[in-house]
Amino acid sequence: MKIVVLKFGGTSVGTIKKIKKVAEIITDYKKKNYKVIVVSSAMSGVTNELIKKSKEISNNFCDTEHDVLVSSGEQVACSLIAGRLIHKGYKSRSWLSWQVPILTTGAYKNSRINKINKNKIIKFLDQGGIPIITGFQGINNENRITTIGRGGSDASAIMVAKFFKAKRCIIYTDVEGVYTTDPNKLKKAKKIRIISYEEMLEMASLGAKVMQPVSIQDARLNRIDIEVKSSFKKKSGTLITKRSNIFNNKIVTGISSTQNDSKVSLIGVKDKPGVAAAIFKPLSKNLINVDMVVQNISANGQETDLTFTIKTEDLNKTKKIIHHNNSINYRKLLFEKGVSKISIIGVGMITTPGVTFRMFQTLGNKKINIKVISTSEIKISVLIDKKDTQKALIALHKEFKLSQKK
Amino acid sequence: MKIVVLKFGGTSVGTIKKIKKVAEIITDYKKKNYKVIVVSSAMSGVTNELIKKSKEISNNFCDTEHDVLVSSGEQVACSLIAGRLIHKGYKSRSWLSWQVPILTTGAYKNSRINKINKNKIIKFLDQGGIPIITGFQGINNENRITTIGRGGSDASAIMVAKFFKAKRCIIYTDVEGVYTTDPNKLKKAKKIRIISYEEMLEMASLGAKVMQPVSIQDARLNRIDIEVKSSFKKKSGTLITKRSNIFNNKIVTGISSTQNDSKVSLIGVKDKPGVAAAIFKPLSKNLINVDMVVQNISANGQETDLTFTIKTEDLNKTKKIIHHNNSINYRKLLFEKGVSKISIIGVGMITTPGVTFRMFQTLGNKKINIKVISTSEIKISVLIDKKDTQKALIALHKEFKLSQKK
Helix (H), strand (E) at residue A46: helix A46-57
Is residue B26 domain-shared with residue B133, that is, in the same domain? yes
Is residue A289 domain-shared with residue A152, that is, in the same domain? no
Is residue B287 domain-shared with residue B378, that is, in the same domain? yes
Q: Hey, is A309 helix, strand or coil?
A: strand
Report pLDDT for A211: 84
Is residue A260 domain-shared with residue A380, that is, in the same domain? yes
CATH of the domain at A269: 3.30.2130.10
Report pLDDT for A336: 94
Report pLDDT for A317: 93
B180/B168 Cα distance (integer angstroms): 23
In a domain, A339, yes or no: yes
Report pLDDT for B210: 78
H helices of B246-388, where?
A: 275-285, 315-323, 355-365
Could you tell me which of B307, B308, B268, B306 has the C-alpha nearest to residue B288?
B308
CB-based contact B57 A98, cutoff 8 Å: no
Cβ burial of B277 (10 Å; 0-12, 13-18, 19+) is exposed
A342/A396 Cα distance (integer angstroms): 10
CA dihedral A403, A216, A161, A240 (to 10 degrees): 20
Report pLDDT for B340: 93
Helix (H), strand (E) at residue B180: none
Is residue A29 domain-shared with residue A165, that is, in the same domain? yes
CB-based contact B19 A61, cutoff 8 Å: no
In a domain, B300, yes or no: yes
Q: Which residues contact A11 (CB under 8 A, 6 or more apart)?
A: A18, A44, A173, A174
Is residue B162 domain-shared with residue B280, that is, in the same domain? no
CB-based contact A84 B57, cutoff 8 Å: yes
CB-based contact B83 A58, cutoff 8 Å: yes
Query: Which residues in chain A come in under a pLDDT of 70?
Result: 1, 204-209, 249, 298-299, 301, 405-406
Q: Which residues of A356-374 are buried (b: 16+ CB within 10 A; e: fewer)?
A: eebbeebbeeeebebbbeb
Helix, strand and coil content of chain A, in percent to the nearest 5, comes to 40, 25, 35
β A145-147/A112-116 pair status: unpaired
**Cα–chain center distance at A195:** 14
Report pLDDT for A298: 66
Instruction: Give the start-end residues of each E strand in B297-404.
Output: 303-311, 332-345, 372-376, 379-385
Cα B80 to Cα A67, A75, A113, B137, B252: the distances in Å are 11, 17, 25, 18, 43
Q: Hey, is B379 helix, strand or coil?
A: strand
From first to last of its 406 residues, chain B has per-residue pLDDT tens of 699 999 999 999 999 999 999 999 999 999 999 999 999 999 999 999 999 999 999 999 999 999 999 999 999 999 999 999 999 999 999 999 999 999 999 999 999 999 999 999 999 999 999 999 999 999 999 999 999 987 789 999 999 999 999 989 999 998 888 899 888 888 899 999 999 999 988 886 555 567 888 889 999 999 999 999 998 888 899 999 998 888 776 789 999 888 889 999 998 888 777 788 888 989 988 888 888 888 877 667 678 888 999 999 999 999 999 999 888 888 889 999 999 999 999 988 877 888 888 999 999 999 999 998 988 888 899 999 999 999 999 999 999 999 875 5
Q: What would you report as the CA-atom Rg of chain A, rounded to the nearest whole angstrom?
A: 24
Is residue B18 domain-shared with residue B160, that is, in the same domain? yes
In a domain, B195, yes or no: no
In a domain, B238, yes or no: no
In a domain, A369, yes or no: yes
Note down the domain range covering B85: 3-174
Cβ burial of B384 (10 Å; 0-12, 13-18, 19+) is buried
- DSSP state, residue B406: -
Is residue B268 domain-shared with residue B159, that is, in the same domain? no
What are the residues of chain A with a beta carbon less than 8 Å away from any beta carbon of chain B?
16, 19-20, 50, 53-54, 56-58, 60-62, 64-66, 68-69, 71-72, 75-76, 78-80, 82-84, 86-87, 93-94, 96, 98-99, 143-145
Is residue A170 domain-shared with residue A289, that is, in the same domain? no
Q: What are residue B252's phi and psi, to 5 degrees?
A: -115, 130
Q: Hey, is A15 helix, strand or coil?
A: coil
Cα B313 to Cα B263, B309, B318, B319, B386: the distances in Å are 12, 12, 10, 11, 15
What are the residues of chain B with a beta carbon less than 8 Å away from any beta carbon of chain A?
16, 19-20, 50, 53-54, 56-58, 60-62, 64-66, 68-69, 71-72, 75-76, 78-80, 82-84, 86-87, 93-94, 96, 98-99, 143-145
Question: Positive or negative, the Cα torsion across B280, B284, B288, B292?
Answer: positive
Whole-prediction pTM: 0.85
- The three state secondary structure string of A222-247 is HCCCEEEEECCCCCCCEEEECHHHCC
Is residue A169 domain-shared with residue A24, that is, in the same domain? yes
At which of A174, A194, A214 does a domain end? A174
CA dihedral B58, A96, B7, B159 (to 10 degrees): 100
At which of B174, B193, B225 does a domain end? B174
Cα A285 to Cα A6, A294, B52, B245: the distances in Å are 37, 21, 46, 64
Count of structural domains, chain A = 2
- Contact indicator for B224, B162 with CB cutoff of 8 Å: yes
Of the candidates A20, A58, A86, the beta carbon closest to that of B84 is on A58
Q: Which residues of A55-84 are buried (b: 16+ CB within 10 A; e: fewer)?
A: ebbbeebbebbbbbbbbbbbbbbbbbbbbb
Is residue A260 domain-shared with residue A364, that is, in the same domain? yes
Mutate to test the interface with B, among A48, A76, A85, A121 (most CBs of B within 10 A): A76
- Angle in degrees, 0-180, between the axes of helices B63-87 and B16-31, rounded to the nearest 10: 60
In a domain, B240, yes or no: no
In a domain, A275, yes or no: yes
At which of A131, A151, A174 does a domain end? A174
CATH of the domain at A78: 3.40.1160.10
Could you tell me which of A328, A235, A79 has the C-alpha nearest to residue B73?
A79
Q: Which residue in chain A has the smallest CA separation from B62?
A: A83
In a domain, B225, yes or no: no
Q: Tally the residues of chain B.
A: 406
Residue type, A320: K
Neighbours of B39 (CB within 10 A): 28
- Contact indicator for A328, A266 with CB cutoff of 8 Å: yes
